[in-house]
Structure 1
Amino acid sequence: MSHFTYIKTRFQNLSYLEKALSKLNITYKQQSSDYQELQKNLLITQSNGYNIEFCWNGHEYELVTDLSFWNQSYPIQSFIDKVAQNYANETVIGESQKIGFQVTNSIKSIDGSQTLVLERWNSNLY
């Protein structure tokens, strides 16, 4: 018997979530949401047939999985942390670009943290 676990996240932007998963080399596919036709869920297939899903609940993407059949190379909390870090990075970059900033440097530290240097040129100074 499957016991699905629903883990709340702060992931609200599908594009940033997809970019975060891609940066981690996690293969996924989109599927229609039961909640809303316009909203998509992301499905990560596992070799054991027990898939991982990021499901739209109307406010955010919840991670839905059966923890008894977790078949990833790192534990669930590490998985969520890695996705969250990359999601935050993609959000900062994407939202900054919307207001004219560009990434000029990105430094990944030994501890896994990342520093972004952004700049925006203003030609209206004089």
Structure 2
Amino acid sequence: MSHLSRIKTSINSKEILKKTLKDLNFTYRNTSEDNIDDKKINSQNITIEQNGKDLFVFYWNGKEYSFLTDLQLWTMNIPYTKLLEKITQQYSYNTILQESTRYGFQNINQKILKDGSIQLVIQRWNS
């Protein structure tokens, strides 16, 4: 028996989420209207797939995305918690770059540290 689990995230930008998934080499598609758990979903949802099989969905609730998957049928070789951490880290990185560029900053240097964190150096010159 299948049981979908929904995990709340702080992801709220569809464009940054799509860039993040692309950065992490995921194949995804916008989910057309369908029913999941007897609830209507819309094309804001993003379904991640591999080899023609749906792995998980980022479900849009009107304010933010939730990570939606069947944990009993989880087949990836990484625990879903670690995967979600990796997606969240890359999403945060992409958000920082987008927002800093918007305010006139430039990415000068970036480095992935031994603990997996990302060190990012940005600068802005005032004229």
TM-score, normalised on structure 1? 0.86
Output the aligned Cα RMSD.
1.8
Corresponding residue number in structure 2 for 1:43: 47
- The question of whether the paired residues in 2 share the 8 Å contact of 1:35 and 1:58 is answered with no
Corresponding residue number in structure 2 for 1:15: 15
Corresponding residue number in structure 1 for 2:117: 113
- Greater mean alpha carbon deviation, residues 18-27 or residues 105-114: 18-27
Give the structure with the higher percent strand.
2
Corresponding residue number in structure 1 for 2:69: 65
Q: C-alpha offsets along residues 19-58 of structure 1, whole Å, 9 cap, x if unaligned? A: 222222122112246455xx62111124584531001001
Structure 1 segments, 4+ long, off by >2 Å, are: 31-36, 46-51
Q: What is the number of equivalent residue pairs in this alignment? A: 121
Q: Which runs of 5+ in 1 are unaligned?
A: none
Q: How many Å apart are 1:18 and its aligned residue?
A: 1.4
Corresponding residue number in structure 1 for 2:37: none
Corresponding residue number in structure 1 for 2:56: 52
Q: Which runs of 5+ in 2 are unaligned?
A: 34-39
Corresponding residue number in structure 1 for 2:36: none
Q: Following the alignment from structure 2 to structure 1, what is the Cα–Cα distance between the partners of residues 44 and 32?
A: 5
